[in-house]
Amino acid sequence: MARIVVLTPNPAIDVTYRVAEQRLGETVRVADVSRRPGGKGLNVVAVLRLLGSPAVALQPLGGAPGRWMAESLLAAGTEVVVVDAPGDTRTTVAVVDDRTHPTLYSEPGEALPGATWRALADAVAQHCEAGGFLVLSGSVPPATAAEHVRHLVVAAHGVGARVLVDTSGDALLAAADAGADIVKPNEAEALEATGTGAIDAAAAALIARGAGTVVISRGDAGLCAIGADGDAFVQPAVPDVSGNPTGAGDAATAGLIAALLRGGDIAEALRWASVVGAAAVLSPVAGDIDPADLRPLADRLPTGARPTFPATEPTFPPAPVPVDLANSGAVRKP
């Protein structure tokens, strides 16, 4: 299977504080703290691995937080490529209780200098391969220019890889302008970026700019895909699935890519995306699915055809032993 490289351009350490009750303007005792490497691209990598499609996690990381993040990913068995970034890797903090919706504090991250963007493009060219995919997923750092996104797309195309971009705003438009093979915003992101009021108009605007196919996720309304050739596909969601929707869109991206690399067409890929996204909703943690849920969910899919998942559980290489990144070449750098 051709290689998948997933670039998370603005990674973060996700910190979750569990409290008895969220109260503004007061001192609140934290009952429990968890920390994990975060970012939409890393959710995609984790789900791809569970689907039996291991991917390379590429990201700019800086400072002690960046070293901790790389070590954590490596210890979990993820193949990691690090580009050195100035400053410390950012943090996001979620405050959760059992009473109300979580409160999220998200740092913007450090702007990346031109040298770091060039190093990222070089890493894309080095680690992508013909027939594979570059997936650019998540927010971009402050001051990201259209040319930064374009160079990443051009680098992947230069070695024969396809490009899927799941981002928003100006970066989404830049990806379309650069000729990304697939752009995958959600409905709100597609409408906001294009300034349109309907999905078909948003898709048409992105295709007119140069995108090959536009896939739009619509939550429990499912997904749709519109190609530059005018073909359109609508895929309903798996009905009656409830749970944690955080990361479901990232899981859908993983399902889409996994199906395409197995030779499926866009209709089959949408079915995979729908089922894998639904499996993620059943998990309390973003970036996680239980492969045993896939076939039962596929049987409930409201469509004439069912996605074909592997007959056996995927097998993975053993996780490497954690290392001291400061004194080891275990984490590859371009």
Spans of all domains in the chain:
4-11+39-90+109-309
- Tell me if 30 sits within 8 A of 19, measured CB to CB: yes
Q: Which amino acid does the sequence have at 20?
A: A
- Tell me if 244 sits within 8 A of 283, measured CB to CB: yes
Please report the beta strands in the chain, taking only residues with DSSP state E, as ranges in sequence order.
Answer: 4-7, 12-19, 30-38, 55-61, 79-84, 90-96, 103-106, 133-137, 162-166, 182-183, 213-217, 223-227, 232-235
* Residue 84 is among the residues annotated as catalytic for this protein: no
- Tell me if 102 sits within 8 A of 314, measured CB to CB: no
Tokens matching residue 294: 């896939």
Distance in angstroms (rounded) separating the CA atoms of residues 160 and 131: 6
- Tell me if 243 sits within 8 A of 283, measured CB to CB: yes
pLDDT tens digit at each of 334 positions of the chain: 689 999 999 999 999 899 999 998 999 999 999 899 999 999 999 999 999 888 999 999 999 999 999 999 999 999 999 999 999 999 999 898 888 888 889 999 999 999 999 999 999 999 999 999 999 999 999 999 999 999 999 999 999 999 999 999 999 999 999 999 999 999 999 999 999 999 999 999 999 999 999 999 998 889 999 999 988 998 999 998 888 788 899 999 999 999 999 999 999 999 999 999 999 999 877 788 989 999 899 888 876 555 665 544 443 333 333 333 333 333 455 5
Owner of token pair 């210890």: 75
Using CA atoms of 212, 217, 221, 224 in order, give the dihedral in degrees to the nearest 10: 10
Q: Which amino acid does the sequence have at 111?
A: A
Residue from 14, 166, 181, 250 carrying the catalytic annotation: 250
Single pTM value for the model: 0.88
State which fold the 4-11+39-90+109-309 domain adopts. Answer: UDP-N-acetylmuramoyl-L-alanine:D-glutamate ligase (3.40.1190)
Q: Can you state the percent helix, strand and coil of the chain, rounding each to 5?
A: 35, 20, 40
Number of H helices, E strands in the chain: 10, 13
64: three-class secondary structure by DSSP = helix
